[in-house]
Amino acid sequence: MKGIHKRKMADIPPGGESPLDFAMVQQAQGTLEMVKEAIAHNQTLLAFQPVMRSSAQAQVGFYEGLIRVLDATGRVIPAGAFMDKIEDTETGREIDVLALRHGLTTLQKNPGLRLSINMSARSIGFRPWMNCLNRFINESPGLGERLILEITESSAMMVPELVIDFMHRLQSKGICFAMDRFGAGKMTIRYFRDFDFDIVKIDGQFIRGIAQSPDNQALTRALMGIAHEFEMVTVAESVETEADAALAVQIGIDCLQGYYFAAPTTRPDWTRKEGSRESA
């Protein structure tokens, strides 16, 4: 019995956490170290996914640039695999800077391109992020008019007054703002009005399977109605089937984004050589 007791005690991680909690902490630390290594060795890049116009589904409205890092084996790791583990850290701010720099460099090299880049509200007061934005805007007048900054609904609601002021200052320079994952957070109508987003991207949980879900159809119509009332462009995220795309168009969504049209790729049309394809 004593041996069993000692063995069980030895299985308890330092600090008294449960084995599951300990494993999750270890995983988060490993992820953070991987991202730090990628940043240190300049192993980051963007993958690009088109956002299609509902009125002409062969026409791209703009592209979203999604940050990727390379692990030690050269494997491309999507943001979804690490962003929630680094969001509250200095590394999260550094990733926002890199995403912005990659995006602005891409806009500089491609004058006909319009591009959205994700950011956290936490980066608004991060000097390197703002310095990066100001440098590119000053070097390339008019570049801001082709830039869209995406902020999730939950991130915007962390510091709403700060985000509202930030948006109004940059909108005067021609920069547009998109609320990402609209409907997934706890936005109040008062703040929704004050934010004055240019674009809202309706969260994919309402769009996936919408053709077979009357509930999702009703919720999407409600979200779209609020956005259109404030003259905001609507985007349906996570469009994965022809039926869902058709239903979103029927409802009146302005733009569509998802795997039905294209997966994010690190080799978009403007860089891809004929006959070669690479997705991430």
CB atoms within 10 A of CB 104: 24
Residue 213, classified by CB atoms within 10 Å of its CB into exposed (0-12), middle (13-18) or buried (19+), is: middle
Q: What tens-digit pLDDT sequence spans the chain (280 residues)?
A: 444 444 444 444 555 555 445 344 445 567 889 999 999 999 999 999 999 999 988 899 999 999 999 988 888 998 888 888 888 899 999 999 999 999 999 999 999 999 999 999 999 999 999 999 999 999 998 999 999 999 998 899 999 999 999 999 999 999 999 999 999 877 767 788 889 999 999 999 999 999 999 999 999 999 999 999 999 999 999 999 999 999 999 999 999 999 999 999 999 988 765 444 344 4
Domain extent listing, the chain: 43-256
The token pair at 10 is: 């030895």
The pLDDT value given to residue 7: 40
Biggest alpha carbon–alpha carbon distance for the chain: 76
pLDDT of 238: 98
Q: Per residue in 85-110, pLDDT tens?
A: 888 899 999 999 999 999 999 999 99
What is the per-residue pLDDT for 3? 46
Average pLDDT, the chain: 88
Provide the CB-side half-sphere exposure for 150 (13 A, CA). 21
- What does the angle CA 253 – CA 257 – CA 259 come to, to the nearest 5 degrees? 135
**SS3 of residue 57 by DSSP:** strand
Model pLDDT, residue 270: 85
Instruction: Please give the CATH number for the structural domain made up of 43-256.
Output: 3.20.20.450
